[in-house]
């Protein structure tokens, strides 16, 4: 994170934090699937382009490193009720 600019984001949504095939959760770029940020844009573990928390507890801790609670926006799309049950 000290080698260049960092863009910190918090993502939420249906199964957003789940470890599922197709997500960026493989640590090694070589093990990552094509179509994921890590699979498409990373070469070495030490020069990773993306970080994802490994649990909800880690996510809460890591979000606190970057953001104050009042900086987080709770957004609900107008299409939410049409897409999810």
CA distance 74 to 80: 13
Which pair of structure tokens corresponds to residue 2?
């000290």
Q: Is 51 a catalytic residue?
A: yes
- CA contacts within 13 A on the Cβ side of 78: 0
Task: Pick the catalytic residue from 51, 54, 60, 61.
Answer: 51
Residues with a known catalytic role = 51
């Amino acid at each position: 994170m000290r080698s260049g600019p960092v863009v910190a984001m918090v993502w939420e949504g249906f199964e957003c934090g789940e470890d599922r095939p197709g997500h960026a959760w493989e640590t090694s770029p070589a093990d990552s699937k094509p179509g994921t940020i890590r699979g498409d844009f990373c070469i070495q573990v030490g020069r990773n382009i993306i970080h994802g928390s490994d649990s909800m507890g880690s996510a809460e801790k890591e979000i606190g490193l970057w953001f104050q609670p009042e900086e987080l926006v709770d957004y609900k799309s107008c299409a939410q009720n049409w897409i999810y049950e």
